[in-house]
Chain A
Amino acid sequence: MRQMLRKHLGSMICAASLAAFSLSAAYAQDTVRIGYAVSKTGANAGGATTTTIPNYELWVKEINDAGGLKVGDRQMKIEVVEYDDRSSSEEAVRSVERLATQDKVDFILTPWGTANNLAVGPIFDKYGYPQIAGTSVTDMAPKLAARWPNSYWLLGTGGSYAEGLVDLLVKLREEGRIGDSVAMASIADGFGIELAKAGRTALQGHDFKLVYDKIYPLGTQDLAPIVNEVKALNPDVFIAFSYPPDTLGLTDQARVLNFNPKLFYTGVATAFPLYKDKFGAAAEGVVSLGGIDPNDEKVRAYIARHKEVVGKEPDRWASFMTYAGLQALQQAIEKAGTLDKEKVNEVLRTGTFDTVLGQISFDNKSRQVPNIFTVGQWQDGEFVGLEPADHPGAGKLVFPKPAWPAQ
C-alpha cells in the first residue's frame, strides 16, 4: 500500500511539475520577463530607494498600462522578477547570475551604485545582457566599455563632473568675481575619493590654491569642526564631495555658523527632493552635480508622472539617467522587434533614442551620453543645469550665493 502510494505520489508530482512547466512556458510567450537585483536593504538602500527602484516601477507600470512592449507584431506585458542584493556585491553577483540562469529573464536592469555595477559587469557580459548603468560614476567607464561591449554608462566619469565644476570656476575667475582660494572636503569612500582626485588635479592644473583639502570618514556625524575651520580660512569657493547624510549635515552647519561663501557646492543628495523639502528657501544658490532644464516639456512631464505614480519627485541627477536608460532599452527592443539580446544590443550601440535627456546615442567609443549636465544649482525651487554651458537649456549661475535666510 505504502509502496503504491509512493509510486503514485511520484508520478503525481511528475505530472504536476510537468503541468506547471508547460503552463509557465505558455505564460512566458506573452510576457517579457525583466529581472533586477537592487539594494532594498543595507547601506545602499537610501540611494537605491531614491533613484533606482521608483524609476523601475514607474517604467514597468507605464508600459503595462499602455498594453505592453511592442515586440514585432505583438504587445507583451512585462513580468518582473526582483531580488534584494542587501547592498553586498557578492549578493548582487549571485542574484544576477540567478536571473540569467534560473529565472531566464529576457532582460536585466542594473543594480544601484558604482561598486555593484562593476561587480555584476562580468555576468551581464557572459550572458550577453545589455548593462545600462544609470547610477555608476567611474573614471573606468571608457575601459569598461571596451572590455564589456554590451555595457552603457549614462552617468559618465568622475572626471567629467570635477572638470565641469572647474570650468565654471575658471570662467568666474576670468570675470574677476572670485579669487584663487578654494576649500575642498571629501568623503573617504569610492565616489568622494574619485571626485576629489579629479577635482584636485583640475584645480591645480588651473592654478587654484587649495587652502583646505581634507578627507573625512564615512559616517562622520559631527561636521562642525570642518565648517568652522573652513570658515576661518574665508575661501571664495567651498566644495564638498559628500554623501547624503553629510551633504545635509554640512549645509545645516554652514547655516548655523553663517558660513556663506560666494559659491557653495555639496555632493550627492543636493539634487534630491529631500534637500529642497528640508531647506526650502535656504537651498537657493547651492551648487552640486547634475541638473535639468526646467523648461523642457519632456522633463516636466516626466517629473509629473514620477510624482503621480511613485508619490514623490525624482532626484535631479541620476534619476534622469536611469529613466533615459530604460527608455533607450524600450525603444531598442521595439526597434529590433525581437527579444533577442544580440539584436537589441546592436540597436543600442548604433541607434538614437528619444529620452528625458533629449536625443541620446551610445554610438561612441566609451558608450556614454556626451553633454549631460555636470553642474547644477538650486534656483527658485528647481535644480537647474548650468554646465556644460552649450547644453541646450543650460541656465545662468546665480552669483554670489544669496545669504542663508534667518531661521
Chain B
Amino acid sequence: MLTNAILSGLTMGGTYALVAMGLTLQYGVSRIMNLAYGEFVIAACFAALVLFASAGISPLVALLVVAPAGFLLSWAIYRLLLMPLVRRAPSRGALEVDSILATFGMLFIVQGIMLALFGGDYSSYSYYNTPVDLFGTTIAANRLIVLAVALAVALAAWSFLMHTRSGTAMRAVAVDPVAAGLVAIDVRRVAAAAFALGGAIAATGGVLISMFLTFNANIGVVFTMKALIIVIMGGVGNVVGALVAGLILGLAESFVATFVDPGLTIAVTYAIFLAVLIMRPQGLFGARAR
C-alpha cells in the first residue's frame, strides 16, 4: 500500500509539475500572468487526440509536432498581442495586472475556438494504458511516461538556465530586467523566448495528459489553478522549485487519499499551499528579496 501511494503520488505529481513548469517560465521571466495557460494545455490535448484518431499518430510522436507548434504559437502571441502591453507598462507590477486582463480575454477566445471546432463534449482515448509491474505494485505505463518526461523537462530546463549563455540571460531578466538591459541583454527577445518555451512545455504537458485524462474544451481553468499554486509554492520562475512543489502536492494527495480519506485531497493541497505562503512567502526555492 505504501509503494502504491508513493508511485501514484510521484506520477500524479510529475503531471502537475510538468504543466506548472511552463507557467513558471512565463510568469517568472516574461512577467506575463497567463490566465489562458490551461486553455493551451487543453488545445494540445485536442491536437494529440486529432492526430491519434485521424492518422493513428502516437501521442509520443505527436509531441515532435505539437511542442514546436506550441513554441511558435506562444512566440507569435507574445510578439503580436502582448508586446504592446510590455511597451507601455511603466513597471513590472503594471505589466502583471495588464497581462492578467489581456490573457483573461484570451482564455475565452481560445476556449471559444475549441468549442467551435470540437463542441463541448467529453473526449477521451487510451494510449499505453498497459499495466507495468514495478516494486511489487502495478501502474499504468502512460503515467510513468509522464513522470519521466517531467523529470527530463526539468533537467533540460535547469541545465539550460544554469549552464548556457541564453539561460543565464533568462535568469538575469527574471531577477532584474533593467539591469539586464544595461549589460546588453535584449530583454524583450529573452522574455519572448521564455514565454514561447513556456508554451512549448504547456503543449508537451497537454499531449501527455491526453493519454489518460478525460477532457473537454471547458476544463482548462483547472490546470491554470493547479499550476498557479505550484508556481507560487515553488518560487516564481524556478523550474526545479515547480518540479519539487508538484511532486510534493502529488505525494500529499496520494497519501491522504490512501491513508486518510480521498475527500480531503483538495483540503490538503490548500493547507500545504497556505503553510508555504505563511512560512516562505517567496516560495520554497524563491529568493527572499528581488
A residues neighboring B (CB under 8 Å): 39-43, 45-46, 48-50, 87, 185, 188, 214-217, 219-222, 224-226, 228-229, 232, 244-245, 248-249, 252-253, 255-258, 269, 272, 274, 278-279, 407
The reply to whether B122 and A46 form a contact with Cβ atoms under 8 Å apart is yes
B129 A245 Cβ-Cβ under 8 A:
no
Q: Specify which of B121, B126, B218, B266 is in contact with A50 (CB 8 Å cutoff).
A: B121
| The residue from B139, B213, B219, B266 contacting A217, defined by CB atoms under 8 A apart | B266
Instruction: Tell me, rounded to whole Å, the shortest Cβ–Cβ distance linking A7 to chain B.
Output: 42
Please tell me which one of the listed residues B12, B138, B254, B262 contacts residue A216 in the complex, with CB atoms under 8 A apart: B262
Pair A224/B139 contact, Cβ less than 8 Å: yes
CA distance in complex: A269, B216 (Å): 13
Q: Tell whether, in the assembled complex, residue A222 and residue B12 are in contact, meaning their CB atoms are under 8 Å apart.
A: yes
Q: Which of B1, B119, B122, B263 has the most CB of A within 10 A?
A: B122
Nearest CB in chain A to that of B123: its residue: A274
* Residue numbers in B under 8 Å from A42 (CB-CB): 218
In the assembled complex, which residues on chain A have CB atoms less than 8 Å from the CB atom of B215?
245
| Neighbouring B residues of A256 by C-beta, 8 Å | 129-131, 138-140
Inter-subunit contact A43/B218 (CB<8 Å): yes
Residues B12 and A226 in contact, CB atoms below 8 Å apart: no
Contacts known (A40-B120, A221-B12, A225-B262); A245 close to B213, Cβ less than 8 A: yes
Provide 26 A-B residue pairs closer than 8 Å at the C-beta atoms, listed in order of the A residue: A41-B217, A42-B218, A43-B218, A45-B115, A45-B216, A46-B218, A49-B120, A214-B261, A215-B261, A216-B265, A217-B263, A217-B265, A222-B9, A222-B250, A224-B12, A224-B139, A228-B137, A245-B215, A249-B212, A255-B129, A256-B139, A256-B140, A258-B138, A274-B123, A278-B124, A407-B130
Bound Cα distance A199, B258 (Å): 23
Contact B262 A221 (CB under 8 A): no
What residues of A have a CB within 8 angstroms of the CB of B265 in the complex? 216-217, 220
* Complex CA distance for A222 and B126, rounded to whole angstroms: 16
Whether A257 pairs with B138 at a CB distance below 8 angstroms is: yes
Which of A48, A225, A252, A274 is B8 in contact with, Cβ under 8 Å? A225
Q: Which residues of A contact B261 (CB under 8 A)?
A: 214-215
Count of chain B residues near A, Cβ 8 A: 44
Residue in B11, B222, B262 whose Cβ sees the most chain A Cβ within 10 Å: B262
Give A229 to B258 CA distance when docked, in angstroms: 7
Residues of B within 8 A of A50 (CB): 121-122
Residues of A within 8 A of B119 (CB): 49
Q: Does B111 sit at the interface, judged by CB under 8 A? A: yes
The majority secondary structure among interface residues of chain B is mixed
| CB nearest neighbor in B for A215 | B263
In angstroms, Cα B119 to Cα A39, docked, is: 12
A257 B131 Cβ-Cβ under 8 A:
yes
Q: Which residue from chain B places its CB closest to the CB of A50 in the assembled complex?
A: B121
User: Contact flags (1/0) for B1-43 with A, using CB distance below 8 Å?
Assistant: 1001100110110010000000000000000000000000000
Q: Which residues of B contact A40 (CB under 8 A)?
A: 115, 120
Known contacts A228-B4, A256-B139, A257-B131: does B120 contact A45 (CB below 8 Å)? yes
Contact of B126 among A48, A87, A278 (CB under 8 A): A278
Once the chains are docked, how many angstroms separate the CA of A219 from the CA of B269? 13
Q: Are A222 and B254 interface neighbours, CB within 8 A?
A: yes
- How near does chain A come to B216, taking the closest CB pair, in angstroms? 5
Contact with A along B127-157 (1 / 0, CB 8 A): 0011100000111100000000000000000
Q: Is the CB of A222 within 8 A of B122?
A: no
Interface presence of B125 (CB below 8 A): yes
- A43 CB to nearest B CB, Å: 6
From A49, A216, A248, contact of B257 by CB (8 A):
A216
With A40-B120, A244-B122, A257-B131 as contacts: A224 and B8 at CB distance below 8 Å: yes
**Alpha-carbon separation in the docked complex, A256 to B8 (Å):** 13
0/1 string, B68-105, CB within 8 A of A gives 1: 00000000000000000000000000000000000000
A225 and B2 CA atoms in complex are apart in Å by: 10
Inter-chain contacts of B125 with A (CB < 8 A) = 278
Contacts of A272 in B (CB 8 A): 122
Query: Contact between B129 and A407 (Cβ–Cβ < 8 Å)?
Result: yes
Docked Cα-Cα span, A278 to B129, in Å, equals 12
Find chain A residues with CB under 8 A from B166 CB: none
Which chain A residue has the least Cβ–Cβ distance from B118?
A49
The 8 A CB mask of B243-255 against A (1 = contact, 0 = none) is 0000000100110
Least Cβ–Cβ distance between B192 and chain A, in angstroms: 31
